[in-house]
Structure 1
Amino acid sequence: MAPSRATALTEATLARWPLPHPGNDADKESRGRVLVVAGSGETPGAALLAGTAALRTGAGKLTIAAPRCIAQGLALAIPESRVIALPETRGGGFDARGCEALAPLAESTSAVVLGPGMRDEKRSAAFVRRLLALFRDSAIVIDAVAMAVVRDGAFDQPVLLTPHAGEMAHLSGLAKDAVVEDPLLVAREAARRWNACIVQKGATTFIVQPDGRAWRFDGGSPGLATSGSGDMLAGLIGGFAARGLPLVRAAGWGVLMHARAGDALAGRFGPLGYLARELAAEVPALIESIGQR
Structure 2
Amino acid sequence: MMNDTSRPEPVLVDDALLRQWPLPMPGVEGDKEERGKVLVIAGSREIAGAAILAGIGVLRAGAGKLAIATVDSVAPLLAQAIPEARVIGLPETRSGDLAGAAAMDKIGGIIGRYGALLIGPGMQNEDAICDFVAGLLPHLDGRPLLLDASAMSVVRQAGGHGKGHGKADDMGNDQPARISRFDVPVLLTPHAGEMAHLSGADKEEVQADPVGAALQAARRWNAVIALKGAVTHIAAPDGRLWRHEGGNVGLATSGSGDTLAGIVTGLMARGAPLEQACAWGVALHARAGERLCQRHGPLGYLAREILDEIPALMHRLRPQ
Provide the TM-score with structure 1 as the length reference: 0.96
Q: Which residue of 1 aligns with 2:166?
A: none
Q: Identify the range of structure 1 (105-114 vs 25-34) with the bigger mean alpha-carbon deviation.
A: 105-114
Matched, 1:29 2:56: no
Q: Indicate the SS of the match to 1:205.
A: strand
Map of 1:161 onto structure 2: 188
Instruction: Indicate the larger mover: 232-241 or 87-96.
Output: 87-96
Counterpart for residue 308 of structure 2: 281
Q: For 1:28, what is the secondary structure of its paired residue?
A: coil
Give the deviation of 1:235 after TM superposition. 0.5
Matches within 5 A, 1:233-252: 233-252=260-279
Corresponding position of 2:117: 112
Structure 1 alignment gaps of length 5 or more? none
Match of 2:82 in 1: 78
Kept after mapping to 2: 8 A contact 1:208/1:214 = yes
* Cα distance between partner residues in 1 of 2:314 and 2:193: 31
- How far does residue 16 in structure 1 lie from its aligned partner after superposition? 2.3
Conserved 8 A contact 2:22-2:318: no
> In 2, Cα distance between the equivalents of 1:128 and 1:204?
29
Cα RMSD (Å) = 1.3
C-alpha distance in 1 between matches for 2:261 and 2:318: 23
1:1-293 correspondence runs (5 A): 2-95=6-99, 96-150=101-155, 151=177, 152-291=179-318
Q: Which has the higher helix share?
A: 1
Worse-matched range after superposition: 221-230 or 85-94 = 85-94
The gaps in structure 2 that reach 5 residues or longer are: 156-176
The worse-fitting range, judged by mean Cα deviation, of 167-176 and 4-13 is 4-13
CA distance in 2, matches of 1:4, 1:249: 18
Q: What amino acid sits opposite 1:38 in the alignment?
A: A
Question: Partners of 1:261 and 1:197 in 2: how far apart?
Answer: 23
Q: Deviations over 1:224-269 (max 9, x none)?
A: 0000000011101100000000000000110000001111111111
In our comparison, the structure showing a higher alpha carbon Rg is: 2
Cα distance in 2 for residues equivalent to 1:91 and 1:133:
28
Task: Give the C-alpha shift of residue 133 in structure 1.
Answer: 1.9
Asked if the contact 1:54–1:236 (Cα under 8 Å) also holds between the matched residues in 2, the reply is yes
CA–CA separation in structure 1 for the residues paired with 2:295 and 2:37: 33
Equivalences, count: 292
Output the TM-score relative to the length of structure 2: 0.88
Per the TM alignment, residue 87 of structure 1 is displaced from its structure 2 partner at its CA by 0.8
- Which residue type is aligned with residue 34 of structure 2? S
Post-superposition offset of 1:4: 4.6
Q: Distance in 2 between matches of 1:144 and 1:226?
A: 15
Q: What CA distance in whole angstroms lies between the structure 1 residues aligned with 2:268 and 2:130?
A: 24
Tell me the distance in 2 between the aligned counterparts of 1:143 and 1:132.
15
- In 1, Cα distance between equivalents of 2:37 and 2:276: 18
Contact 1:169 1:175 in 2 (8 A): yes
Following superposition, the deviation at residue 104 of structure 1 comes to: 3.3
Alpha-carbon distance in structure 2 between the residues aligned to 1:90 and 1:178: 38
| TM-aligned CA deviation for residue 74 of structure 1 | 0.5
